[in-house]
Chains A and B, each alone.
Chain A
Amino acid sequence: MALSVNVSVEAAQEYQVQEITYDGQEIYTQPLSMSENLTKLAHKIDFGKVDDDDSQDHLESTPNFCGEEQKELVTFQPSLWPWDSVRTKLRSALTEISVLVDVLNIAKEKRYMVLDPVSQDPPEVKNVAILVAKKKGLVSAAAIIQKGAERLRISQAEGKNRSLSDFHLELLNMRQKWRLRKQGSLILGDLSYRSVGSRFWQNGTYEVTKSEQPNTTVTSLSPGGPQVPRPSALKVTLPSELEGNSYIHVVIQKDTETIAAGDFTSPFISPIHSDSHWMNKLEGAQNVLFCKELFSQLAREAVQLQPSIPNLVVGNQITASLFPGVQLCFSLCHLTAQDKSKATILPAPLENKAVLEHSLYQLLREHHHQNIHLPTPHPVTGTLGVSKRRQIAGPEALDRHTLMESCKTNTWLEQIIEQTQHTILRLRTMYIIDTYASENKDPLIVAHWASLSSPTCSSVKINIMTHGYETIYRTPLVIHVERKTLKAVCRDGRVMNLSYEPQELTYLLMSQVSQHQVNAVQCLAKVMGWKVLSSSSHVGVGPVEPIGNASSVVMASSTGDRVIAIRCGPQTDIQVSVSSSPQEQDFYPSTLVRDRKWQNLSGSFREVALEKMEGKNFLNKMENLMACLTTC
């Protein structure tokens, strides 16, 4: 090993040249001390840099078989484990910490390792840098506050600029018209009729929320276009069974074919859309509730009542019989927005009786009113809710029967049935009078319906008179139409009770007309100077009338030489016969009557062919007849 030469490698003992001045003098930099060198080198290490190879090495070096296996698994199926990177970082961090702990432990022993403080220049405190940093912080803080303020400002200006109206203003509006209360964080409303006396089981609670409508409609609006109503800021959430609109359909059925179909829907009402105003929605829902209450009460009564023909309650229909062959049918129609398409294809059912529907609503309103408007007890200490009639029952010493009678009230169904019966009867009466008046032109029949009437009573005044002779004679007749009967008051004050059968009224009118003719002729006779010899409104002789009695009158002229006999029956035509006292025929003496003087006796009656006579009507013809028979 003679050739072996020790080669020492060390840094040159020369210092690095820092600067060469113009005069050639070199200025050397001072060599770094050991610790300074270390610090310099340590500064070169980028602790922030993530070294993947490094971590890989660490991982491979760790004697953890499980980790090894998992690592392999991960390399083969990296996509299966999304937390892989996190696991890797955690593992490397663990390694670092372990190393740090080890170093600290060794350093604590002070046998193998000593920690020397690195003498380093204290970092230069630059006030400008701090100022810049502070400024930056303040600017970002100001930006946050400004952004927040901007948001508040936008939400403030929302009510004026946005298409939605102000929530609280709308709420105030609603509060003034509907019952609202706050429960927890919810605003609940109540649209039931409880506060006005309803005792229906169903509650009408709804929820009011702020509507979160997107502000898209504003941009599409043209400034010159029509004013579109602003969508409301309130959103109303109703229970599903109260949505839509409903009403009670009242129908009078004549035939028995369509009784109680049970699934009646009507296309008459327009359903409420889901995007309509809350006012319409609430009103619709309240109406639904009202109709339901009414219908349930009617259905209950229909089942409880025991009429001779039982009432039918099927589905949403109640059928009650009024007269033989005539039924009253109530249907509860409830239409929601979903049903609209279904309803439009249905054929139009029978006409709704709006007046009866209104009376039904009135009944329920009255019931509500009665529930909360109890009469004041007379001694103020008395029981509340006793009716006036029962209060006076004691002082008046009413017996049990009267008391029971006074306590009895009609159910709604009975009341509405009565009203309907009256309606039908009134229409029938009207029809009979009109048809009879159009069939009989000779005495005119003029009917005047009274404008004042009650739901179960109305009246009609009938005048029977002859055209052109109105002032001479007229027969008045008043007919009161009640629930199931008619009451006719005649000219002479007689009262006749008629049933609901239409024929009876026709007969009455017929007999009145026939009597009118006879009475009118009598009055005419007075004017013409004729004398009424006899008159009878119920003639016992002659052919028997099928209905009623014929009336008759016999009149003589002022000189007594002419006699007219008139017979008028309700169904037979008027018969007029004339007899003259000097018989006008040529006299031929016979064995029985030899002298002409016997001609002066009144002869036999001869019938006048009225249809061939001149004259517009019967009285006119009679006037003509009397005029030509009068001898001066």
Chain B
Amino acid sequence: MSQQKTLSQNKEALLKSYNKRMKDDIKSMVDNFIEIIKLARVPQDEDSQVLRPLQNNQDQYEMHVRACNVVRAGECLMKLISDIKQYLVLNDFPSINEAISQNTRFDKNMQNECDSRLCLLRDDVASELYELEEEYYSSAYK
């Protein structure tokens, strides 16, 4: 019972972590994008401490890093999708059970069909064999 509880707790935690990962990644994408847009603004007033070319370079680097962050978040989302798919594939027991029962049904049908066919075949062969035996043992060439 306790094991089941911990299992469900684990599952709950895993699902929550998936949710959190998704939100974090999307947030990081949006934030970084907004920051890039903010950086694109040309400052009108001269209030910065550092020199202008320096500031320009810094802005360029920041844009680079933020763009990379956006891409990374995208990749993370892809990974998350793949993880969720895998989790679903491996742990979706109702559909697996359904697949198993369907397979079982199919195999049972196949078995029945094979059995009945074999029975028919056996009967046919047996009756044929009876006549053939009759013929064989009555013939002079044996």
Contact = CB atoms under 8 A, between A and B. Distances in A.
Interface string A437-454: 110010011111101000
A318 to B, nearest CB: 31
Contact of B59 (A133, A151, A168, A176): A133
Given A176-B100, A446-B137, A447-B133, A171 B86 contact: yes
A137 B100 contact: no
A147 B60 contact: no
Contact of B52 (A123, A152, A175, A445): A123
A123 B54 CA distance: 13
A145 B72 CA distance: 9
A97 B53 CA distance: 25
A446 B133 contact: yes
A151 B72 CA distance: 11
A199 interface: no
B41 to A, nearest CB: 8
Interface string B42-84: 1100100001110010011001101110111011001000100
B118 to A, nearest CB: 12
B137 A152 contact: no
A446 B134 contact: yes
A137 B90 contact: no
B108 interface: no
Interface stretch (B1-9, B16-24, B124-132): B124-132
Interface in A454-469: 467
Contacts of A149: 71, 74
Contacts of A445: 137
Contacts of B140: 441
A433 B46 CA distance: 118
Interface in B85-121: 85-87, 89-91, 96, 99-100, 103
Interface residues of A, number: 43
Contacts of A144: 64, 67-68, 71
A450 B84 CA distance: 61
A181 B67 contact: no
A155 B74 CA distance: 12
B48 to A, nearest CB: 11
Contacts of A152: 74-75, 78
B51 A123 contact: yes
B89 A175 contact: yes
Interface of B: 36, 39-43, 46, 51-53, 56, 59-60, 63-64, 66-68, 70-72, 74-75, 78, 82, 85-87, 89-91, 96, 99-100, 103, 122-123, 125-126, 129-130, 133-134, 137-138, 140, 142
8 contacts: A137-B60, A138-B40, A144-B64, A176-B99, A182-B87, A446-B137, A451-B123, A451-B129
Given A133-B53, A148-B72, 10 more contacts: A137-B56, A140-B67, A144-B71, A148-B71, A175-B89, A182-B87, A437-B137, A448-B130, A451-B122, A451-B126
